[in-house]
């Protein structure tokens, strides 16, 4: 008998199984009550939802903490940028600050100086930190909260509320002036100064180590104190730095450069945390993979029936990919909703966090991260279903009928 | 050449299975099988357990590959068809009835009959209409919305018959369709199957142990010692 040309393609129009039918089958299979797969699907969806929620919530909280810390650093510690004038003269430094403040990209510029000090209270307790002198206006001063007294009173120091147990208003403290980079060189000697006020900020580290005064007071204590111009900007710090360099300031540093090690450590911390969270996702995805395989193996008989009814291999694969997408999709939607709800309800709980951590955080969800996570979960679920079905479909239809034997 | 009346023809079909999962000398199941089935005719394959009857049916329907030989179905060598073409052929020209009345557990009787029609490309409405008609023909019009576990063995087999016939196939492959039924139900299913096959002019390939059931077919083949011989 001579081989005849395949007429199948001529007899039957090319078609794929109706998507509506596949969706209907996949929805029924995903939450099959008859095959007791509903609980497995519900477990997978809930597991994904909780995993996504946990990752998004932790990332959001961590980013808020970092933002808060960076905000404190930029506001109190190092400002957005610092300019080191060529000459160490207050009048000239004030002129430079005015020139810089006149730039459109700069919100405010001010003269300040930090010198390292060791302060000894009357009870003998000491604080190793710094004395900061600064112009008494602008964003820095606005962020300071006065607890008692006027913060910038000539000839007096402002101590922080966090040190108020050992250093009280009206008390005199012995201050040893140090020089940066040298071995505790006393310049000129210990001085006694009165604490005129108490302040506090949102940065505990800053408060704990910083005494404040006005510029004339500091220059009386140490006329050689290196003056700097600090500035705030709403624009990108690198752009403003370039602008300052272009107009002739050679020693300009951004807050990132000044706090490079801290910034690097926090970046690394965030990366490690993200990595750990992704490992958590992988554990969940592996669980999905094995659940998906178990589910497919249990469905072998039904797959065989569908194949004997004429459903193509591609149709079967699409059916179970759709099923996996449906379950994972429900998990992703549920997880996203949980995360969004938790973040939007967070302001009601922020007092509890403030009491335990001392910070007021503003939580937000980065839509790009949520999107990447959601897409990863959906893709992996699809892949697991595709692979599992591919494996099952390698077997002959009749072998899939578990009960069937050569009779 | 395949005669115009023939719908299925097997030529020199050989099939063996490995002795163990690890291999070993294969066990020959079918040896040089020649067999043909004409349109609107019925054939029965009988034989002892393990003789290879079901294997022969599965190979004839393209559910299993043979080692060598040719299987002509509606003038096409189905061993040369790719999976999509074979699936389409199964969908439009073949109907299956298995021993344990395999129904899709998650679906009702109506849906079980409707789904193959939809796979064959019919709209949901058309498929539902055809399924309703077929279920009514097999006397299941009152059990449309019952799932597999809510039906008796005989009822499940009647749904399986409706499902096999819903796309007006050319051939019905029935593997021990009454094997798991009691005598009364078996008789009902037998009568129903033959009356529908005759009424719809469908060819039937029947695998059975039951001689009286087999005798109702036009030709009875007996599978013995890996070969078939016409027994009546």
Question: Between A and B, how many residue pairs show a Cβ–Cβ distance under 8 A?
Answer: 133
- Helices within A259-366 (DSSP H only): 260-298, 300-308, 313-345, 350-357
Under 8 Å between Cβ of B66 and B58: no
pLDDT class of A188 with cuts at 50, 70, 90: low
Chain B residues whose beta carbon lies within 8 Å of the beta carbon of residue A28: 106-107
State the greatest distance between any 2 C-alpha atoms of chain B, in Å, as a whole number.
53
Sign of CA dihedral A158, A163, A169, A175: negative
- Residue A243: its H or E element: helix A237-246
The answer to whether B106 contacts A6, with C-beta atoms less than 8 Å apart, is no
d(CA A321, CA A392): 13
d(CA A24, CA A38): 15
d(CA A144, CA A201): 5
Asked if the model's pLDDT at residue A340 lies above 70, the reply is yes
Domains in chain B, CATH or no CATH each: 6-230 (3.40.50.300)
Q: For residue A268, what pLDDT is reported?
A: 87
More reliable by pLDDT, B125 or A31: B125
pLDDT class of B115 with cuts at 50, 70, 90: very high
Other beta carbons less than 10 A from residue A262's beta carbon: 15
Residue of A nearest to B165 (CA): A309
Which of A20-29, A184-193, A325-334, B1-10 is predicted with the least confidence, judged by mean pLDDT?
A184-193
Q: What is the mean pLDDT of residues A120-141?
A: 80
Closest CA to B163 of B97, B215, B66: B97
pLDDT class of B75 with cuts at 50, 70, 90: confident
Residue of B nearest to A10 (CA): B85
Asked if the model's pLDDT at residue A187 lies above 70, the reply is no
d(CA B73, CA B52): 20
d(CA A106, CA A139): 12
Q: For residue A29, what pLDDT is reported?
A: 81
Phi-psi region of A180 (alpha: psi -120 to 50; beta: other; left: phi over 0): beta
More reliable by pLDDT, A123 or A99: A99
HEC secondary structure over B3-26: CCCEEEEEEEEEEEECCECCECCC
A363: which DSSP letter?
A: -
Under 8 Å between Cβ of B223 and B230: no
Q: For residue A335, what pLDDT is reported?
A: 93
CA distance B111 to chain A (A): 10
On whether any CB of chain B is under 8 Å from the CB of A147, the answer is no
Bridge partners (DSSP) of residue B220 are: B44
Residue of B nearest to A8 (CA): B85
Which of A134-148, B103-117, B155-169 is predicted with the least confidence, judged by mean pLDDT?
A134-148
More reliable by pLDDT, B181 or A275: A275
Q: What is the mean pLDDT of residues A85-109?
A: 87
Token pair, residue A31, equals: 């939450």
Q: What is the mean pLDDT of residues B14-24?
A: 76
| Letter string b/e over residues A246-257, b meaning 16 or more CB atoms within 10 A of that residue's CB | eeebeebbbbbe
CA distance A296 to chain B (A): 15
pLDDT class of A240 with cuts at 50, 70, 90: very high
**Report for A112-121, A170-179, A274-283, A333-342: range of highest mean pLDDT:** A333-342
d(CA A320, CA A26): 6
Q: For residue A182, what pLDDT is reported?
A: 55
Q: For residue A4, what pLDDT is reported?
A: 37
Q: What is the ipTM of this complex?
A: 0.88
Q: For residue A136, what pLDDT is reported?
A: 66
Q: For residue A1, what pLDDT is reported?
A: 39
The answer to whether B54 contacts A406, with C-beta atoms less than 8 Å apart, is yes
Rounded to the nearest integer, the mean pLDDT of chain A is 81
d(CA A322, CA A332): 15
B108: which DSSP letter?
A: B
Optimal mutation site among A310, A314, A393, interface B, most CBs of chain B within 10 A: A310
Per-residue pLDDT reduced to its tens digit, A251-288? 899 988 888 888 888 888 878 887 887 788 788 778 77
Residue of B nearest to A30 (CA): B106
The answer to whether A1 contacts B70, with C-beta atoms less than 8 Å apart, is yes
The answer for B 177-206 residues in CB contact with A (under 8 A) is none
Which of A144-158, A177-191, A259-273 is predicted with the least confidence, judged by mean pLDDT?
A177-191
| Letter string b/e over residues B166-204, b meaning 16 or more CB atoms within 10 A of that residue's CB | bbebbbbbbbbbbbbbeeebbebbbebbbebbeeeebbb
Phi, psi of B195 (to 5 degrees): -65, -40
The answer to whether A302 contacts B104, with C-beta atoms less than 8 Å apart, is yes
Other beta carbons less than 10 A from residue A150's beta carbon: 11
Q: For residue B2, what pLDDT is reported?
A: 55
Chain B residues whose beta carbon lies within 8 Å of the beta carbon of residue A315: 87, 119
HEC secondary structure over B116-185: HHHHCCCCHHHHHHHHHHHHHHCCCHHHCCCEHHHCCHHHHHHHHHHHHHCCCCCEEEEECCCCCCCHHH
Asked if the model's pLDDT at residue B181 lies above 50, the reply is yes
Least CB-CB distance to B105: which of A35, A308, A314? A35
The answer for B 54-93 residues in CB contact with A (under 8 A) is 54-55, 58, 63-65, 70, 72, 74-77, 80-81, 83-92
Task: Please report how many Cα atoms fall inside a 13 Å half-sphere around the Cα of residue B218, on the Cβ side.
Answer: 14
Instruction: Using only the alpha carbons of chain B, give its radius of gyration.
Output: 18
Q: For residue A338, what pLDDT is reported?
A: 93
Q: What is the mean pLDDT of residues A90-101?
A: 89
CA distance A284 to chain B (A): 28
pTM of the model: 0.73
Chain B residues whose beta carbon lies within 8 Å of the beta carbon of residue A300: none
Least CB-CB distance to A308: which of B50, B80, B96? B96
The answer for A 288-347 residues in CB contact with B (under 8 A) is 301-302, 305-315
Least CB-CB distance to A407: which of B54, B64, B81? B54
């Amino acid at each position: 008998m001579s081989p005849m040309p395949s007429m199948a393609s001529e007899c039957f129009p090319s078609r794929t199984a109706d998507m509506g039918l596949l969706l209907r089958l996949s929805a029924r299979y995903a939450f099959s009550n008859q095959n007791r797969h509903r609980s497995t699907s519900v477990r997978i969806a809930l597991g994904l939802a909780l995993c996504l929620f946990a990752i998004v919530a932790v990332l959001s909280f961590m980013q808020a903490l970092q933002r808060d810390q960076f905000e404190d650093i930029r506001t109190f510690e190092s400002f957005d940028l610092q300019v080191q004038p060529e000459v160490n003269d207050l009048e000239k430094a004030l002129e430079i600050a005015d020139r810089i403040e006149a730039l459109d990209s700069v919100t405010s510029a001010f003269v300040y100086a930090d010198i390292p000090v060791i302060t000894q209270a009357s009870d003998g307790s000491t604080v190793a930190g710094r004395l900061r002198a600064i112009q008494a206006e602008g964003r820095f001063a606005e962020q300071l909260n006065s607890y008692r007294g006027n913060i910038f009173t000539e000839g007096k120091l402002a101590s922080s509320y966090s040190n108020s147990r050992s250093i009280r208003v009206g008390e005199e403290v012995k201050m040893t002036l140090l020089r940066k980079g040298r071995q505790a060189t006393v310049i000129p000697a210990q001085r006694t100064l009165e604490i005129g006020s108490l302040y506090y900020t949102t940065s505990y580290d800053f408060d704990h180590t910083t005494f404040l005064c006005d510029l004339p007071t500091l220059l009386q204590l140490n006329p050689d104190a290196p003056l700097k111009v600090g500035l705030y900007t709403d624009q990108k710090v690198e752009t403003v730095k370039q602008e300052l360099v272009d107009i002739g300031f050679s020693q300009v540093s951004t807050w990132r450069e000044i706090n490079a090690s801290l910034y690097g450590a926090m970046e690394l911390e965030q990366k490690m945390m993200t990595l750990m969270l992704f490992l958590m996702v992988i554990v969940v995805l592996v669980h999905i993979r094995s659940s998906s395989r178990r589910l497919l193996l249990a469905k072998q008989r039904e797959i065989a029936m569908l194949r004997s009814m004429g459903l193509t291999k591609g149709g079967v694969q699409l059916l179970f990919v759709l099923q996996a997408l449906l379950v994972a999709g429900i998990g992703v939607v549920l997880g996203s909703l949980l995360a969004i709800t938790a973040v939007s309800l967070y302001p009601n709980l922020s007092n509890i966090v403030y009491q335990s951590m001392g910070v007021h955080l503003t939580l937000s969800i980065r839509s790009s991260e949520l999107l990447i996570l959601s897409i990863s979960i959906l893709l992996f679920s699809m892949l697991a279903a595709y692979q599992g079905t591919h494996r099952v479909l390698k077997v002959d239809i009749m072998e899939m009928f578990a009960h069937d034997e050569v009779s | 050449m395949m005669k115009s009346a023939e719908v299925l023809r097997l030529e020199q079909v050989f099939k063996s299975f490995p002795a163990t999962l690890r291999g070993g000398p294969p066990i020959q199941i079918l040896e040089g099988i020649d067999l043909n089935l004409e349109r609107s005719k019925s054939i029965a394959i009988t034989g002892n357990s393990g003789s290879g009857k079901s294997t022969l049916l599965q190979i004839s329907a393209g559910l299993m590959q043979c080692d060598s030989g040719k299987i002509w179905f509606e003038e096409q060598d189905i061993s040369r068809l790719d999976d999509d073409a074979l699936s389409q052929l199964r969908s439009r020209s073949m109907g299956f009835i298995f021993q344990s009345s395999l129904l899709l557990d998650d679906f009702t009787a109506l849906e079980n009959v409707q789904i193959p029609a939809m796979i064959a490309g019919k709209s949901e409405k058309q498929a539902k209409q055809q399924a309703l008609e077929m279920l009514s023909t097999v006397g299941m019009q009152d059990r449309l919305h019952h799932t597999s576990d809510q039906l008796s063995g005989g009822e499940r087999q009647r749904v399986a018959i409706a499902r096999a016939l819903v796309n007006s196939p050319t051939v019905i492959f029935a593997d021990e369709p009454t094997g798991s039924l009691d005598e009364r139900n078996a008789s009902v299913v037998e009568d129903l199957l033959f009356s529908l096959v005759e009424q719809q002019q469908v060819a039937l390939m029947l695998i059975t142990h039951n001689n009286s059931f087999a005798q109702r077919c036009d030709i009875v083949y007996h599978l013995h010692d890996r070969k078939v011989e016409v027994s009546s």
